[in-house]
Amino acid sequence: MSAVLPALGPIFLIILLGALLKRGLMPHLGLANGFWDAAERLTYFVLFPAMLLTRTATASIGELQVVPMAAALTAPILLMIGGLLVMRERIPIDTPGFTSILQGTIRPNIYVALAAAGGLYGAAGNTLVAIAIGVVVPFVNVLCVVLLTRLIGVADPGWRTLAKALASNPIILSVCAGLALNALGLGLPPVIGPTLDIIGRAALPLGLLCVGAGLHFGALKAGRTGIVLASVLKLLGLPLLASLACLSFGVEGVTAQVTILFSAAPAAASSYILARQLGGDHQLMAGILTVQVIAAAATLPLIVTTLL
């Protein structure tokens, strides 16, 4: 625990700072209300892709257990979805709310996951999370769109639209580009590489500030049952399943530790956007996201000290 708190504590202090900036300090700093939307877009489209590209292009991937790790990441997600669908009739919540629980159970917050893995495991943690992002992000994006459209009954966007959305996702593109450069042995050019590295260093602090700014404390009244259920399943249930999956697929060492840590991260803020677009309960989704980020300050150290 003495090593865990120094590694994870700064993450949640930065998130807290983001919440304070959004709710009280911005007028004193001369920041406009539109600052956070611009900051989120800058992080998502420029800073974070630059960071992921540099990490994957220059990493030593040959010795990593990539395929078993991918299986250990995706199998618990499928098990969690299957369990929720089986138990759906026993959960006292409507269909839009149920889809928000689904999203809140399987979608990872990549900013928190990368910051935690980097703080605990350094460059190896960053590389493994970048690979996990390349596996899990497209996987859960497709699953969530299909599940929401089928359960809620809105128009199915079709596979072409899904493929186009994935092919234009800057996070996925940056990981794929980095892995391609790595596989070809090209790495990064002398000038472009250091430039991208400098740009990427701003991704995590700004991304974590945006996580804090995105907390919606007023949404905590949206539905206690759904918030508690999604939070327990995501922060405790999914990493436990990931731990069992690592044993089943022979994933060991730092790879297993990062796999479990990635599964233990709170849900992604993009879940709120998809809930609004496809008819989910976005107020409940906001409440789930808020509680999970707050609760993760306690559950992440617990997972690290008990399962890793």
Dump pLDDT digits (tens) for 8-65.
899 999 999 999 888 877 766 666 667 888 999 999 999 999 999 998 888 877 667 8
Please indicate whether residue 140 or residue 3 has the higher confidence score (pLDDT).
140
Residue 42 to residue 274: CA distance in whole angstroms: 20
Percent above pLDDT 70 for the chain: 94
Residues 276-292 have a mean pLDDT of: 92
What φ, ψ does residue 267 adopt, rounded to 5°? Answer: -70, 160
Indicate whether 274 pLDDT > 60.
yes
Is the pLDDT assigned to residue 121 strictly greater than 60? yes
> Tens digits of per-residue pLDDT, 68-119?
999 999 999 999 999 999 999 888 899 999 999 999 999 999 999 999 999 9
For residue 21, what pLDDT is reported?
87
pLDDT at residue 156, rounded to an integer: 67
Residue 257 predicted with pLDDT over 60: yes
Query: CA–CA distance from 95 to each of 266, 279, 280, 281, 284 (Å)?
Result: 22, 10, 8, 9, 12
Range name among 14-18, 123-127, 196-200, 232-236 with the lowest pLDDT average: 123-127
In percent, the amount of the chain with pLDDT more than 90 equals: 60
Q: What is the mean pLDDT of the chain?
A: 89
pLDDT of residue 295: 95
| Per-residue pLDDT, 29 | 66
Mean pLDDT throughout 156-170? 79
Q: Report the pLDDT averaged over residues 148-175.
A: 81
Mean pLDDT for 158-165 is 78
* Alpha-carbon dihedral angle through residues 111, 108, 118, 73, given to the nearest 10 degrees: -160
What is the structure's pLDDT at 95? 92
Higher-pLDDT residue of 305 and 30 is 305
C-alpha span between 197 and 53 (Å, rounded)? 9
Residue 296 has pLDDT above 60, yes or no: yes
Per-residue pLDDT at 250 exceeds 70: yes
